[in-house]
Amino acid sequence: MSVPPPPPLEHLGRRPFSFYPAIINIEHNEWVFRRATWSEILVANTKGNLEIWIPRRHLGQISPVEDPVMIVGLLKELEYKAGAVWPHERQVIEMPRGPENTGTAAAPPVSPAPIVGIRLESSTESRIGRLIGAVLTIAVLAFVLVVAVFRIGPLRSRLVFTARDQAYLELNRRDDYHSIVSKLGKPAEDRWRSDPGELQYRLMWYPERAYSVILMGSDRKDAHYVGAMDGNWHVLHYVEIPGGGNTRPLLRGLKRF
């Protein structure tokens, strides 16, 4: 019985169509006709610059309905490899034949069946996908851990000497030693320091509050409040300077004493 010739595709013009079954190893299944010879047709994928030749002997019927897209049937399942299409072969494992029931006491041992071949692309891709997912998950967890270490670590070091109150917020640049004592009480430690420019710095340490109050002046009688430092010598509070600016840079540059 003679096989009817495949329908011509030349009349499709530039109308897109899809192959059924879809060509293996090509993700996008939408094509347009380019040109034809007596034995092959050239089609182009609408997504990308891929052009392939399809032997006419593999072409089937064309669907009469174009909604949602025209279908061109393939007589064989094709796969794309090495720049061309080839008939797809599904190789299987040849199973050994079981012993026939001949009434004998025991059948001779059967040798292992030869392995013809089997396609493992899908399982391999699945394992690769799971591996990539696991790697990404580990990377995200590692990133979160690093961020936590850098954020929580400094925070813990600050919490060691965190001020137990914020009474220093009541102080301002007009406060001197006596007004500070009236607000905070007498300090546990009171010491002075002079810099090369003859400025005088006074430190009033309140361990129960976990911070020190700093005064500054051109002489010890004229020293006034300029800010507060915590137990790690970090600036807790500073005051505004008349004419603009504040004492924060001064405190940050002040060495511990």
Convert 156-210 into a string of H (helix), E (strand) and C (coil).
Answer: HHHHCCCCCCCHHHHCCCCCCHHHHHHHHCCCCEEEEEECCCCCEEEEEEECCCC
Would you say residue 232 has pLDDT above 90? Answer: yes
Query: Considering the domain boundaries, does residue 232 fall inside one?
Result: yes
Residues 103-137 pLDDT 10s: 555 555 556 656 555 554 555 667 777 888 888 88
Write down which residue in 87, 119, 142 finishes a domain.
87
Peptide bond into 5 cis (omega under 30): no
Whole-number pLDDT of residue 124: 64
Question: What angle (nearest 5°) sits at the alpha carbon of residue 205, between those of residues 199 and 206?
Answer: 150
Query: Considering the domain boundaries, does residue 139 fall inside one?
Result: no
Whole-number pLDDT of residue 175: 96
Phi then psi for 154, rounded to 5 degrees?
-60, -35
Q: How far, in Å, CA of 25 to CA of 33, rounded?
A: 20
Query: Considering the domain boundaries, does residue 45 fall inside one?
Result: yes
Query: Considering the domain boundaries, does residue 19 fall inside one?
Result: yes
Q: Which of 167, 171, 175, 172 is nearest to 223 (CA)?
A: 175
Query: Considering the domain boundaries, does residue 96 fall inside one?
Result: no
- Quick one: tokens of 178? 């006596």
Query: Considering the domain boundaries, does residue 153 fall inside one?
Result: no
Q: Which of 226, 223, 200, 195 is nearest to 213 (CA)?
A: 226
| Percentage, residues of the chain above pLDDT 70 | 75
Is 92 or 107 the better-scoring residue by pLDDT?
Answer: 92
Q: Over range 3-9, report the average pLDDT.
A: 62
Helical spans, DSSP H, in the chain = 121-159, 177-184, 248-253
Q: Over range 140-149, report the average pLDDT.
A: 77
Write down which residue in 87, 115, 140 finishes a domain.
87
Write down which residue in 44, 68, 87 finishes a domain.
87
Whole-number pLDDT of residue 229: 97
Question: Using CA of residue 146, residue 148, residue 153, residue 154, what is the dihedral sign?
Answer: positive
The pLDDT mean for the chain works out to: 82
Q: Over range 34-44, report the average pLDDT.
A: 93
Domain range for 178 = 167-253
Q: Over range 53-74, report the average pLDDT.
A: 86
Q: Over range 93-100, report the average pLDDT.
A: 63
Query: Considering the domain boundaries, does residue 15 fall inside one?
Result: yes
Q: Which of 170, 169, 211, 166 is nearest to 188 (CA)?
A: 211
Q: Over range 197-201, report the average pLDDT.
A: 84
Whole-number pLDDT of residue 104: 52
Query: Considering the domain boundaries, does residue 202 fall inside one?
Result: yes
Is 144 or 80 the better-scoring residue by pLDDT?
Answer: 80
Q: How much is the pTM? A: 0.39
Would you say residue 66 has pLDDT above 90? Answer: no
Domain count, the chain: 2
